[in-house]
Homo-oligomer: A and B are copies of this chain.
Amino acid sequence: MVLDNHLLRDLTVTEKELWDEKVKQIADQHSLRQVFHIEAPIGFLGDPNGFSFFQGEWYLFHQWIPRKTKKKMVYWRGLTSKDLVHWKSLPMTIDPDTKFDSHGAYSGSAWVNQGQLEIFYTGNVRNQENEREAYQIRATMDEKGIKKEATPAIMQPPAGYTMNFRDPKVWQHAGKTYAIIGTQTKDKAGRAIIYEASADLKAWQVKEVLQPFDHDLGYMWECPNFFELDGSQVLIFCPQGATQKDLEYHTLFPNAFVIGPKWSGDGSEWKLKQPKLALVDEGFECYASQIVQAAGRTIIISWMGPSKTPLPTEELGWSGCLSLPREMSIKDGKLYQKPIQELTSLFGTAQIIDVEHSPSFQASSASQFKVAFKGNGQVLWNIRAEKDNPGLVIKVDLKNQILEVDRQAVFPLVEGAKTERDTHRKLQYSSDGKVLELEVWLDHTSFEIFVNQGRSVLSGRLFTTETAQNCNFKVDGNVTVTGEWHEIVK
């Protein structure tokens, strides 16, 4: 095994100068830079990792490939924030620099243990035969940096599972520490395995293999989260290869969840009588979600990816962003996700939406809209439109309770990629009465549409010209539209 060990920290003085210049150039203000979503300063951003609350601050890492030419050199890059809104980069990264993670410091999680931030992640290795090896590695963080344990805590998957074995998410329950890890059986069926840690966190034993469905679901499960919420237990996971029969999805892989009874931890299997598998997000890009629980809050953040074709920013030197952090809750057995309230600190003055007198107006490319539709007619709503370009198109059909989102005009990918599933979504929403409330969070290159107080969310990337700032409402039939919008300033 040859280590491709040319890490960022090993650049020569001249290389470092060139690199810093490049980062500076890329980080410069550009109309395709997001305003209030997390992006990488340079390179590729992937899954959120290590989302945690430690000593009064939020910590959040993400998969990071700083150098396009070194695709296997996957790092963890970190950020910290007091309010989940204003973030600053951490100086320390997790580098793919040992024989147990030489081909990528893959996804994982972080939690607080005895006053320290503990990290658990997957070391990805390609051995001399180019076969995959997967190690689950513990590390701890302090002011000086992130220190990996010399030996992985879990050296290999249990017998019967392949090396597709990754993304440990740790939680604590009744005084014990557990990790859930995504994997696949040798028969190529997706599973998640719960491990229980010894008190010193050194020994991890299989506690339970999670498969709460009555048949196999896809060939590999990635990025599992398993947590208690409002008296229930939620499994969020990415069942790669799940059939459309199990779950109607229009993305490459689904990012799904299922709600069940509280997990006892007493050894009895977590089974679901009538599992209702559903998507975390009904939109275009939302994957590898990770949750954090702190002080009674449960917050989820996701990678706004993957995309089938290259994003326009790639040639500018960066790509990928994270979703907004969303506060989760369960009411009447339904999962809700709302943008965290801290985001309202970015609001400019509220501006009334008066569709009767001003159906068309200019709105900032970084804005939040909150609009209620009442009646039984239809509404066509364009966002970031301009002459000859309808922008992002939202269609509301109140009578049939259908919401459609069309981003065809603002997703300038190669022609072949402009298929229906890349550009169009149709959602049958549930509502009390004939009211639909939409909250749209628009950033320079993304949109997130929260339906009826977060009962559903549709998210995606969007790329258009800087000048496309028209917002138009066209009402057809009996509909009252009320609402307001705020510019988002950071």
Contacts and interface: CB of A to CB of B under 8 A. Distances in A.
B345 A231 contact: yes
Given A55-B112, A115-B55, A115-B115, A83 B296 contact: yes
A58 B297 CA distance: 13
A46 B339 CA distance: 38
A342 B340 CA distance: 18
Contacts of A199: none
A295 B112 contact: no
A172 B56 CA distance: 10
A21 interface: no
Contact of A297 (B55, B112, B172, B297): B297
Nearest to A111: B56
Counting chain B CB atoms within 10 Å of each CB, the highest count among A83, A295, A344 belongs to A295
Interface string A293-308: 0111100000000000
Contact of A296 (B55, B84, B172): B84
Contact of A230 (B112, B231, B344): B344
A227 to B, nearest CB: 14
A interface, how many residues as a size bin? 20 to 34
A53 interface: yes
Contacts of A84: 296
A291 to B, nearest CB: 13
A178 to B, nearest CB: 15
A127 interface: no
How many chain copies does the complex carry? 2
A86 to B, nearest CB: 12
Contacts of A231: 344-345
A401 interface: no
A394 B67 CA distance: 68
Contacts of A344: 230-231
A115 B345 CA distance: 29
A341 interface: yes
A329 interface: yes
A112 B112 CA distance: 14
A301 B341 CA distance: 21
Interface in A254-295: 294-295
A280 B53 CA distance: 30
Interface in A121-136: none
Interface in A402-426: none
A296 B341 contact: yes
Interface string A335-353: 0000011101100000000
Interface in A83-97: 83-84
Nearest to A115: B115
Contacts of A295: 53, 58, 294-297
A294 B172 CA distance: 19
Interface in A11-62: 53, 55-56, 58
Interface string A124-168: 000000000000000000000000000000000000000000000
Interface of A: 53, 55-56, 58, 83-84, 112, 115, 172, 230-231, 294-297, 329, 340-342, 344-345
15 contacts: A53-B295, A55-B115, A56-B112, A56-B172, A58-B295, A230-B341, A231-B344, A294-B294, A294-B295, A295-B295, A295-B297, A296-B297, A296-B342, A297-B297, A329-B341
Given A230-B345, A295-B295, 9 more contacts: A55-B112, A56-B112, A56-B172, A56-B294, A115-B115, A231-B344, A231-B345, A295-B296, A296-B342
